[in-house]
Amino acid sequence: MNDLLRTLLALPLQASTYARAVDTLHYVVIGVTMAGATFVFLLALYFLVRHRQKVPGEITARIVTSASHEAFIAGSILALFLAFWVVGSIQYDHMMTPPDDAMPVYVSGKQWMWKFAYADGRETMDELVVPIHKPIKLVMTSRDVIHSFYVPAFRMKHDVVPGRYYTAWFEATVAGDFPIECAEYCGISHSRMLGTVRVLGDEDYRRWLDDSRLRSATAAGGGEADLAVLGRTVAAERACFNCHTFDGQPHIGPTWARLYESRVPLTDGRTIVADEAYLTRSMMDPQVEVVAGFKPVMPSYRGLLPEPEVAALVEFIRSLRNAPFAPTVDLPRVAPLSSGRPQEPRP
Ligand SMILES: [Cu+2]
């Protein structure tokens, strides 16, 4: 049944864990609306014949139904559409909430390509390589205009807007190559903004890891780059450590130790979970969500940090999620910031 409908509707293979559920809702919605449209059309045809004017000048009788009858019909149609919506929003929520053990990959769209950065420092262009049966969390953004990351075979699609960060996830269930498309018109070569998700079996994936490690090691002159290690270097170069520590001590800004996935209280009374999107927003728009107990003195890094550096910083903070609270350095006592003027980061 599933395969028949899928072929009828010309849908691609269902290659992710949630693809089947998305399609099932799709079949039901299409089926119900087609049946409804057919029913209304046939009924209209029947009434047209049945109540046609038989005597010239004849006036049709005015037919009134009871209010409860009307309420029942309107109510049940409303309930039907609400049911679609409830199922759809449960599915949406599932698709937007990555499982805890998901492997992060940083995606950035750019006219006209997709770039992928992995947690161990590797990068690929227009090709996302993932192991089968493993949840992959995508942390996505755009570097120029609005794009939309779309993998039809996974039934996964998410817009990416410059300056904003989104998380979505998938778990591939079929090995093979699946097309990535840009689903938001983004300029002259939009239709050629294509990529591939390469889903590898465990054995092949291990081989690919070894192979690409070897290549990046030779390219980097030995030693494999680790995104978290890179993040630490970036943080030092960008002078984040003027205000932040990663040993548990608050400084001018909060410590990064155990920050990732923790619940952060904000000055406006809200509490927010420090996921990748929040961490990135904290760098781009630090004044929007100010951590309770701290002054809004962090400068914005919008436009100052290239994409790979942002990914590296986030990955570094992520790597500190279980860091021990063990002061490693004696911090000077923080002098009260007189004007609240942000310290300029060194170039
Ligand atoms: Cu695009």
Residue 324 predicted with pLDDT over 80: no
Lowest mean pLDDT among 26-30, 228-232, 325-329: 325-329
**Tokens 């990529």 appear where?**
195
Q: Which two tokens stand for residue 202?
A: 């465990």
Alpha carbon distance 22, 17 (integer Å) = 10
- Ligand 1: distance of its center to the CA of 118 in Å? 21
Q: Determine what percent of the chain is predicted with pLDDT higher than 90.
A: 49
| 3-state class (DSSP) for residue 335 | coil
| 3-state class (DSSP) for residue 63 | coil
Q: What's residue 306's pLDDT? A: 78
pLDDT band at 55 (very low <50, low <70, confident <90, very high): confident
- Ligand 1: distance of its center to the CA of 334 in Å? 46
pTM over 0.85: no
Q: What's residue 214's pLDDT? A: 60
Residue 88 predicted with pLDDT over 70: yes
Alpha carbon distance 282, 302 (integer Å) = 10
- Ligand 1: distance of its center to the CA of 310 in Å? 21
Q: Determine what percent of the chain is predicted with pLDDT higher than 70.
A: 89
Q: Which residue has the higher pLDDT, 266 or 335?
A: 266
Q: What is the pLDDT of residues 38-48, one digit of tens each?
A: 999 999 999 99
Q: What is the pLDDT of residues 306-318, one digit of tens each?
A: 777 888 898 889 8
- Ligand 1: distance of its center to the CA of 104 in Å? 22
- The dihedral built from the CA positions of residue 243, 248, 286 and 279, taken in this order, carries a sign that is positive
Mean pLDDT, the chain, rounded, equals: 85
- The residues pairing with 124 across neighbouring beta strands, listed in sequence order, are 116
- Ligand 1: distance of its center to the CA of 271 in Å? 34
- Ligand 1: distance of its center to the CA of 126 in Å? 12
Q: What's residue 224's pLDDT? A: 41
Question: Which domains does the chain show, CATH number per domain?
Answer: 2-48+67-96 (no CATH), 103-219 (2.60.40.420), 227-319 (1.10.760.10)
Q: Which residue has the higher pLDDT, 333 or 211?
A: 211
Q: What is the pLDDT of residues 208-230, one digit of tens each?
A: 888 776 665 544 443 345 778 88
Q: What's residue 221's pLDDT? A: 41
- Ligand 1: distance of its center to the CA of 154 in Å? 18
**Tokens 């790597």 appear where?**
319
Lowest mean pLDDT among 9-13, 37-41, 301-305: 301-305
Q: What is the dihedral of CA 243, 247, 248, 253, to 10 degrees?
A: 10
- Ligand 1: distance of its center to the CA of 140 in Å? 13
Q: What per-residue string of b and e applies to 63-75 under the rule 16 or more CB within 10 Å gives b?
A: eeeeeeeeeeeee
Q: For helices 276-284 and 307-319, give the axis angle rounded to 10 degrees.
A: 130
pLDDT band at 92 (very low <50, low <70, confident <90, very high): very high
Please give the C-alpha separations between residue 235 and each of 8, 228, 305, 315, in angstroms, as whole numbers: 53, 10, 11, 11
Q: What's residue 216's pLDDT? A: 57
Q: What is the pLDDT of residues 156-201, one digit of tens each?
A: 999 999 877 888 999 999 999 999 999 999 989 999 999 999 999 9
Listed residue (92, 328, 106, 27) closest to 114, CA to CA: 106
Q: Which two tokens stand for residue 329?
A: 């350095």
Residue 345 predicted with pLDDT over 50: no
Biggest CA-to-CA distance, the chain: 102
Q: What is the pLDDT of residues 108-142, one digit of tens each?
A: 898 889 999 887 777 888 999 999 999 999 988 88
- Ligand 1: distance of its center to the CA of 148 in Å? 6
Q: What per-residue string of b and e applies to 237-266 under the rule 16 or more CB within 10 Å gives b?
A: ebebbebbbbbbbebbbbbbbbbbeeebee
Q: What's residue 40's pLDDT? A: 96
Q: What's residue 157's pLDDT? A: 94
pLDDT band at 31 (very low <50, low <70, confident <90, very high): very high
What mean pLDDT do residues 8-27 have? 92
Residue 74 predicted with pLDDT over 80: yes
- Ligand 1: distance of its center to the CA of 13 in Å? 23
